[in-house]
Amino acid sequence: MDRIRIRGGAPLNGLIPISGAKNAALPLMIASLLTEDTLELGNVPRLADISSLLRIMSNFGVDHSIAGRRPGQSSETGQTIRVTAKSIIDTCAPYELVSTMRASFWVIAPLVARFGHAKVSMPGGCAIGTRPVDLLIMALAKLGAAIEIEGGYVVATAPKGLHGAEIDFPKVTVGGTHVALMAATLAQGTTVIRNAAREPEVADLAACLIKMGAKIQGAGTSEIVVEGVSSLYGASHDVMPDRIETGTYAMAVAMTGGDLVLENTRAEYLQAALDVLGQAGAEVSSTHSGIRIRRNGNGIQAVDVTTDPFPGFPTDLQAQFMALMTRANGTSRIRETIFENRFMHVQELARLGAHIRLDGDSAYVDGVPTLKGAPVMATDLRASVSLVIAGLVAEGETTINRVYHLDRGFEALEAKLARCGAEIERVRG
């Protein structure tokens, strides 16, 4: 297995192009199942999760093509994927495939909405908390799908199609909102989704669905209204920038010091995190095509943070922020309210010399003057990249094992950091 080797101490200076968002690309690809026409998606990141989803969809009989690189494009330019779900031969997503990535469970929504039948394995994905799918199933049941659980599979049927419904989510769920939104586009009548997730990825999915002929209002707010249509058509859409990748590199330069421009991204997608970085001592400004983050020799200040659904501080940046706080002046309290058990990075950060105490849903991080390089092991996607951030300032060498987690969610990570001065390389296993 590949490893990432980092020699800490170098500041980050230069420009990092931000990739398309994994968490937007996945639901957008899944939305292609709603139409027999071709959906063309631009700015799709080159990531293991994207390939896994394409594999699952190929199993259904979906055709896809990936456009090669054009003159002038670097390997960091997103790819264009054309997906056509004309004739589906199978509406079953098996355990072996779905267990590698939780978001693939969402295929259940377009399959049952368009074909009246779907059989999808209960999902896997990052081992963060129990991550149930009860609310996704609730939404489909409200829309008129009959649901049965058989041997680890969820079977959803609606031979006469779905109908509009009022869906009140008792808890904000991104996946639940994606599922309800996709299914409602082809349901007969009006659907109202309340307490909907306001994440920008939901708005991006809705923007693409609207191009495909869906009638949707309010995406990006907590109440979405969908007027069902009888069919959708093909469209062309560019995936939004990855706000988690943006925030990760912003935390990295706050950690190492230096001056980074993050290109092709927008501050409004992660304002809460940028505000916190400002309080911690980084200088954040918007440029015409992205965000500039600087930190000079001054230290990092401890800041308390609580994760929340958008527009709050994202849980997907919690581990990275904790890495930053390991070097802060003072103690910061980091509260995780979205997922229980999302503190697996704590013991690995401790191996690098961090002082962190866990108490229920909170981590108390006492900043230390130095971290020391060590071999560490990544346990999930965001935890892995927090170890990279810590390794960038740790004295000596840090080796991060199990890099496949990073490959699921960060495109060309070592190349992007190395170009800005980091001493980082991949060691092929």
Q: Catalytic residues, which ones?
A: 126
CA dist 39 and 42 (Å) reads 10
Identify the CA nearest to 412 among candidates 46, 44, 15: 46
CB of 270 to ligand UD1, least distance (A): 12
Three-state secondary structure of 16-73: EECCECHHHHHHHHHHHHHCCCEEEEEEECCCHHHHHHHHHHHHHCCEEEECCCCCCC
CB of 224 to ligand UD1, least distance (A): 15
388 within 8 A of 12, measured Cβ to Cβ: no
List 166's β-bridge partners, or say none.
192
CA dist 213 and 215 (Å) reads 7
- Binding of ligand UD1 at residue 23 (CB under 6 A)? yes
Enter the tokens of residue 264: 């092709």
Pick between residue 12 and residue 103 the one whose CB is nearest to ligand UD1: 103
**Could you tell me which stretch among 58-66, 73-81, 167-175, 250-258 binds ligand UD1 (CB under 6 A)?**
167-175
CB of 27 to ligand UD1, least distance (A): 7
Q: Which positions from 87 through 106 interact with ligand UD1, judged by CB under 6 A?
A: 102-103
Identify the CA nearest to 169 among candidates 222, 95, 120: 222
The verdict on whether residue 44 carries a ligand-binding annotation is no
List 291's β-bridge partners, or say none.
262, 286
CB of 102 to ligand UD1, least distance (A): 6
Binding-site member from 144, 161, 164, 175 for ligand UD1 (CB under 6 A): 175
Q: What does the DSSP assignment read for 266-277?
A: -GGGGHHHHHHH
Pick between residue 103 and residue 282 the one whose CB is nearest to ligand UD1: 103
For the window 126-165, what string marks contact with ligand UD1 as x by the rule CB under 6 A? ---x-xxxxxx-----------------------------
Q: Which positions from 305 through 324 interact with ligand UD1, judged by CB under 6 A?
A: 315-316
The verdict on whether residue 135 carries a ligand-binding annotation is yes
Q: Which positions from 338 through 367 interact with ligand UD1, judged by CB under 6 A?
A: 338-339
- Angstrom distances, CA of residue 249 to CA of 21, 162, 174, 242, 296: 14, 43, 23, 11, 16
- Binding of ligand UD1 at residue 243 (CB under 6 A)? no
Entry field: residues in the chain: 429
**Site size with ligand UD1, rule: CB under 6 A:** 21
Instruction: Extract the annotated binding site for phosphoenolpyruvate.
Output: 22-23
Residues at the contact surface with ligand UD1, assessed by CB under 6 A: 23, 26, 102-103, 129, 131-136, 171, 173-176, 201, 315-316, 338-339
